[in-house]
Amino acid sequence: MDVEDSVPASSGRAGPGRAGPGRAGPGRAGPGRASSGRASSGRASPGRASSGRASSGGAPSAGYVVAIDLGTGGPKAAVVSADGRIIASAFEPVGLDLLEGGGAEQDPEEWWRASSSAVREALSRSGVSPGQVAGIGCTAQWSGTVAADAGGNPLRPAVIWMDSRGAGPIGRQMRGTLNVLGYGVTKVQRWLRLTGGAPGHSGKDPVAHILWIREAEPDTYRATHTFLEPVDWLNHRLTGRFVSSHDAITLHWVTDNRRRERIDYDAKLLRAAGLERGKLPDLVPSASLIGGLTERAAMDLGLREGTPVASGTGDVHSAAVGSGAVEDYQAHIYIGTSSWISCHLPFKRTDVMRNVASIPAAIPGRYIVADEHETAGACLTFLKDSLIFGDDGLGAGIPGSGAPADFYARLDQVAASVPPGAGGVIFTPWLNGERSPVDDHTIRAGFHNLSLSTTRSEMVRAVFEGVAYNSRWLLGAVERLARRPFEEITFVGGGARSALWCQIHADVMGRRILQADQPVLANARGAAYLTLLALGRIGVEDIPSMVPIAAVYDPDPENHRSYGASYQEMVNLYRATKAIHRRLNGRPHPGGAASGANAGELTEQERS
């Protein structure tokens, strides 16, 4: 659940500091903006910042904050002024280990080394001195688990949000005497009433990770002092404190969220989930200060010891803030490795059937819609690394050749050369299962309706469109939860750098798309704004004017109509093939482990 530098930039797109084709100046779109089927300019509102970038006028008197955004591909660090401008940023990649049986792991120590390097590089580029930094805050890939000892040292690699090995343990834990959709009736009633949701069947929530570690690695479980979300592990490395915020802890499903200002662990939920309170962090309010940088952390980052540290948050929450869409019912779509559609809501509500719920937001006193698509930008990465430039000696994939630096710009050009509809080819983008609006860890991706006349260009465009069809599927679930349609949606994440993908999403979803300025830095920007909020430097009401809109994309009515039929067939393909994928991926493959945690055993939900 993260933003990646590697997702596509649109062909011919201007870099920072220059206007480019289809690009607009700052300003959030207002009612009545339209230029059917193409991008239109954003208008500046009174009091809006004139740029999403630093001017050459030197440092604002109020100082700066540093933000760390730990994505799956690696951390970004940004230096942000007190008036919301991104002064400089840097990125460092990290590795990812995908294991048999649905495992996905990363090394937390590599996270820290890369984060330290990125912060130092961003500070160097910015010209900001350590004494000018008023605070630091983090955001990170959400729904991961670090098993840490009493010193905060990781006892094993981090189990991240893509890991489904906990499906079996959480499935068994959720059951009761009387079950509905794989949940014990009494358990799920309490989960829904208190938390606003319940553990997913996919095994990808932290509660499932912990149960899997307890079953598969009992020695590690016993030695663990505290299980931490990735953002909370970073915060421990920064401050030495084992804490989690009211919003970051949510996916453990053990807190009473009914009173947003007084969230705490619930003893009955802990028993239902099978978790020990003593192995979980203490809770602190959202957007609060949790301490100062330790001597070691300050030395690693190149900052001053004691620099205030904000509580931080997960990537869903920081993207919402960094998009500028912070008012209730203002929606944003994020495309990085994964994707989601979200908005803040004034109420707690759950749609169990579609795996969508409103949960505590990073903004104090607020709720935010939580959902997720497992793979979005990752589908383009899959095209690059597995199909076009695979390291197997075939064609372009001659070992060591690698993809060109402008691969994603070329991908945009190729996709743009094909008319909407991709020649009838449909790509279903479920490369790692799906979470919303269906919770199905065995469904898989595919190209459909290929023929001898199908071109590679059509297949490339089909990937762009397939991700957008999936977004439309999710949009229906989110609008249903919010009880209203969204007129416009702010687009952030690496995928938002593609003008083509912005327009395809507008056409497929039938909604105006607002392309945020510097969309790949939305999470870092959100972490910075939450740090400024914790420091008392800004109010929530200031945030919308701090995020310029680069361009506006209105749906083309004809394209929207023609896309409607292909979208419905994508949904039909899921319904028609889910049982096949369940059989294929719910049992051991020849020479490998099962994709599902219980080989050959189907849950009650999966049988339906």
Across all residues in the chain, what is the average pLDDT?
87
Listed in sequence order, the residues at least 6 apart from 276 whose beta carbon sits closer than 8 Å to its beta carbon are 270
**pLDDT at position 140:** 98
**pLDDT at position 596:** 34
Q: Which of 83-87, 180-184, 211-215 has the lowest mean pLDDT?
A: 180-184
Sign of the C-alpha dihedral computed for residues 482, 196, 172 and 228 taken in this order: positive
Contact 176, 187 (CB under 8 A): yes
Listed in sequence order, the residues at least 6 apart from 304 whose beta carbon sits closer than 8 Å to its beta carbon are 130, 131, 133, 293, 298
Domain that holds residue 209: 39-50+63-375+478-557
Name the pLDDT band for 394 (thresholds 50, 70, 90).
Answer: confident
**Phi/psi-derived region of residue 3, left when phi > 0, alpha when psi is between -120 and 50, beta in every other case:** beta
**pLDDT at position 608:** 33
| Nearest C-alpha neighbor of 328 from the set 365, 290, 379, 371 | 365
Q: Which of 269-278, 391-400, 477-486, 569-578 has the lowest mean pLDDT?
A: 391-400
Count the helix, strand and coil residues of the chain and give each as a percent rounded to the nearest 5: 35, 20, 45
Residue 304 lies in a domain: yes
Whether the bond between 281 and the residue before it is cis, its omega within 30 degrees of 0, is no
Q: Which two tokens stand for residue 332?
A: 């944003």
3-class SS of residue 311 = coil
Sign of the C-alpha dihedral computed for residues 12, 14, 19 and 23 taken in this order: positive
Name the pLDDT band for 401 (thresholds 50, 70, 90).
Answer: low
Model confidence at 449: pLDDT above 70 = yes
Instruction: Determine which helix (DSSP H) or strand (DSSP E) holds 103, and give its type and residue range.
Output: strand 103-106
Greatest Cα-to-Cα distance within the chain, rounded to the nearest angstrom = 68
Model confidence at 63: pLDDT above 50 = yes
Residue 128 lies in a domain: yes
Q: Which of 61-75, 147-161, 397-411 has the lowest mean pLDDT?
A: 397-411
Mean pLDDT value across residues 6-34: 33
Residue 513 lies in a domain: yes
**pLDDT at position 197:** 87
**Residues pairing with 447 in the sheet:** 427
Residue 580: φ, ψ to 5°: -65, -45
End-to-end CA distance of the chain: 28
**pLDDT at position 60:** 40
Contact 497, 12 (CB under 8 A): no
Residue 444 lies in a domain: no
R_g of the chain, CA atoms, integer Å: 23
**pLDDT at position 492:** 97
pTM of the full predicted structure? 0.84
Instruction: Determine which helix (DSSP H) or strand (DSSP E) holds 458, and give its type and residue range.
Output: helix 456-482
**pLDDT at position 108:** 98
Mean pLDDT value across residues 153-176: 96
Model confidence at 284: pLDDT above 60 = yes
Q: CA neighbours within 13 Å on the CB side: how many for 257?
A: 34
Q: Give the total number of structural domains in the chain.
A: 1
**pLDDT at position 52:** 34
Residue 318 lies in a domain: yes
**pLDDT at position 395:** 57
pLDDT tens digits, 567-595 = 999 999 999 999 999 999 985 444 333 33
- Our CA angle for 485, 341, 135, nearest 5°, is 125
Residue 580 lies in a domain: no
pLDDT tens digits, 203-255 = 999 999 999 999 999 999 999 999 999 999 999 999 999 999 999 999 999 99
CA distance 154 to 158: 8
Mean pLDDT value across residues 186-214: 93
**pLDDT at position 6:** 38
pLDDT tens digits, 494-503 = 999 999 999 9
Residue percentage of the chain with pLDDT more than 90: 79
Mean pLDDT value across residues 358-377: 94
| Nearest C-alpha neighbor of 70 from the set 293, 329, 248 | 248
CATH code, domain with 541: 3.30.420.40
Q: Which of 57-61, 510-514, 570-574, 596-600 has the lowest mean pLDDT?
A: 596-600
pLDDT tens digits, 308-350 = 999 999 999 999 999 999 999 999 999 999 999 999 999 999 8
Q: Which of 25-29, 36-40, 271-275, 581-585 has the lowest mean pLDDT?
A: 25-29
What letters, b where the CB count within 10 A reaches 16 and e where it falls short, cover 527-552?
A: bbbbbbbbbebbebebbbbbbbbbbb
**pLDDT at position 605:** 33
Beta strand 183-184 with 179-180: parallel, antiparallel or unpaired? antiparallel
